[in-house]
Structure 1
Amino acid sequence: MTDLSEVSGVDSTSPTDARGADDASRASRPSARAFPWAAAPGADDAEVRVARRRWYGGAAFGLLWQALLLVAVWTDGRTVDEHVSATLALAVLYVGYLFAPEAMWRHGLRRRVVVLAVLAAYAGLLLVPVGPAAVWSWLLVVALSGFVAVRLWVALAVLGVVVAAELVVAAVVGWDAASSTGILFAPIVAVSIGASMVFFGRQREAEDQLGVAQDELTRLAVVEERARFSRDLHDVLGHSLTVVTMKSELAARLVDVDPARAKTEMQDVERLSREALQGLRQAVSGYRQADLDAELVSARSALDAAGVVAELPVTGDAAAGDVRSLFAWVLREGVTNVVRHAAASRARVTLTRTTLTIEDDGTGAVDAPVPAGPFDVGGNGLRGLHERADAVGATVTTGTSDLGGFLLRVERRPR
């Protein structure tokens, strides 16, 4: 099989290798979060920067609402010292709330649960300096847990604890008094905030999954285009360069004994070179289509130049329209390998509506090593034919021909 990496300098990395490298790279990334607001454990610097932008924008907005709590603290009739101590205690909570995620980035569930527990415990202690109104500061703990929780159940657990604690406070204060001070409404607000965090967290998860899907589609499109170009480049240049080589050798032998024939062969070399250049341009543009009739003429010329007695159909009219292009590619590849590898003296091409068979009397076998066999069984040529055949619902098979050499057959599967 022609190795185009040797003749064209093209990187011969297969799409499968590229896919494996991409998968390995993807496997080395942090695993997806179940509640994807903030940076995942093991996140890189770029992911942490994105998480910071999300957090500090929303956290600052959340702190603005705490101004109402500060107003309530300073208007509850206590002494100035009590007001100052309550304000300082709240300020500590606000600073912890604002910067707690910095202690959680790149860390797993255990670290995040510990930080949340410490902050929640401190928020509970605010009942002493602030009084029952401190329950409104607990909303910050709910918001924080929803943002940084690695698992959804953590956020829901924190929400449940906060709501239960707020109801206990309302019961201790007295339901009538709790209603008059608005404390009884704190659990409703907490549930609202928790539900919002769950909703927006799931929305963010869907966006992340959509981004991953789009990246995967882009990657697959690149892999498919790579495979298409690799097939076309191999099929166009592999065949053409093989025939050019055979005709050049024939012309060199004839130049002294039959100059006119040698001139004809060199004219064919020029024509084939131009066709190869045109085919390469078409492959680059993505519009390369093989013509079965043209390939039959080319196959006859190549086999004659190689001294192989050929039995070929005159035209490709017998083939169905939807497989003519596939049959043309298979014919080109099969004849190239007969000429290049088979050491054959006779070749036969049989064509029906749904089947194309290429046989020779050469020395190759299916399980023969590549240098000795007529076909690179594991190489780019046969792999490319399998890909082309699969695309149109056909099957490529190889074996030993009735002529004693190699057999290559492509057949459209029944519908």
Structure 2
Amino acid sequence: MLKKIYPTDQIEKYLLIDLIAVIFLIYRVVISEWAIHFTVKLLFIALFVACYYIGLWHRDWRLLISSLGGCLLIVALSMYVDSWILLYGFVFANLLGRAYQKWIISVGMAGIIVMFMVFCWINEGSPIGMFTPKYFPILIGQLVTPIVIYTRAKANLLKEKLDVANAQLERYIQEEERNRIARDLHDTLGQTLTMIKLKSELTLRLLEKNPDKAKHELNDIVNTSRFALKQVRELVTDMKFVSLENEIELSSEIFQQAGIELIVNNNDSKLLLTNVAETMLALSVREAITNIIKHSEAKQCTITQYEQDEHYHIQVSDDGNGNLMEGHGYGIQSIRERLAMLQGEIHIAAHPNHGTAITLKVPLMRNRKVK
């Protein structure tokens, strides 16, 4: 029942505050010495609550109309009850910050300024009275409130969209991996199992007619079964291996979906790394790219690969905010641990508003494949 009376997403944050504010307003207006009939006082209170209630449920032009109406009521109540009722302007300033369009916020803020001007004109004799220390800080606070609320709401919305995009990317990666495994099973193990099936059927037909031939086919089935087992082991090994080249290609697709341009600089040299070393580097690059997508707000990312002083280097840099929070999460720590296994190093250079560069360095001599 309460959810139909009061917005669900506001109950936890604002319901108690709103109840206290409305009850206190009712009490102050009712006991005030305002020389009007009690019914008129209740009418003012009802109009104020109605304006607030409309603004609470809507984010379009109705919010603007209700806020402007509320400002007029605040002027009247402030003049005849007490000037502190101007503080109730924060109620409508908060509601304005939740509007869908910026022009509604702008017009609403202008309404707050007019509210102070009219009150000071009537009560103080001059509209510039709103610049006095008594009123000016309250005015500034009510003008800043909708901007803060709107900015925070936009940031939360962007974060939600980013979380959804990350979840979609993870599902995409998982789906691609499942498709790859399915193709490998079909192209390798499927063919071998089909051969075993055909030879088994042939053996059943030869058991009575030609036992020697059947025995020969059984030996072939045994050998083929061993070969199938070998294929399974190779597939499992391949599943554990992550190609650095494939990881960079996949990153290009992920960056494209995230709206980030990827530039890859490669010296085209054939790097002879073990499967373990290449997998560790690929996973480290994946972690660095994940951090860029989640935290950097970058428009461009550059991956540079080169050899220097018997070491292989790969640098992942971006032009984002440079807000690298190394102490939060396990991304950078995971990269350090992987490179430590390879006796490698990680170097991080983060510059606020000028991006971050992560350089991975692995010794080549200790990771060359034996021919």
TM-score, structure 1 normalization: 0.44
Bigger radius of gyration, 1 or 2? 1
TM-score, structure 2 normalization: 0.49
